[in-house]
Amino acid sequence: MFEFDPERHYPKETESRVVIRFQDCDPLQHLNNAKYFDYFFNAREDQVPKLYGVEMIDFIRKYKAAWVIYNHNISYIRPAKVGEWVRIMSRVVWYDHQTVVVEYYMTDDSKEELKTLMWTTMRYVTMVDGRSTPHEGAVADFLKAVVDPIEYGQISIKERIREIKQHLTK
């Protein structure tokens, strides 16, 4: 069960290394656009318990609430190809009293070429009636500890792509 530890260091970014599977690719041997979602969500689901010691089911059971996705903003920059090893990074880049934005991006294995960037927006809702509910207590403390803020809402996804590309080439 999740317990927030104010003395613990919570990493800001998750990272996974995965191979692009043949079954997930189109006839051009590129990762199918819809499959990027699976790769991103699976990578984060694998890393969050390792880095933060929490399974999402813990939040649901303890707080009777969960995050539901209501928006994606995705840019496909370079194709991921069958058999290619890639890196997938994710992090919370913005949150308020009931909303969270998670940024996902994929690079080549050497982290030199940006392939895809996605922002996913989620609302925190109760499991009882599905209504929005505020981030309170340990949930709010956890978000504060893991957020790696960007100027979300004031920066476009194109500008963010430029920032990440610049960071990758350093």
Share of the chain above pLDDT 90, in %: 86
Q: How confident is the model over 126-141, as pLDDT tens digits?
A: 999 999 999 999 999 9
- What are the pLDDT digits (tens) for 12-50? 999 999 999 999 999 999 999 999 999 999 999 999 999
Tokens of 147: 């957020």
pLDDT band at 120; cut points 50, 70, 90: very high
- pLDDT for 1 equals 62
Cα separations (Å) of 22 from 17, 27, 28? 16, 10, 11
Residues constituting the chain:
170
pTM: 0.94
Q: Which domains does the chain have, with CATH numbers?
A: 14-168 (3.10.129.10)
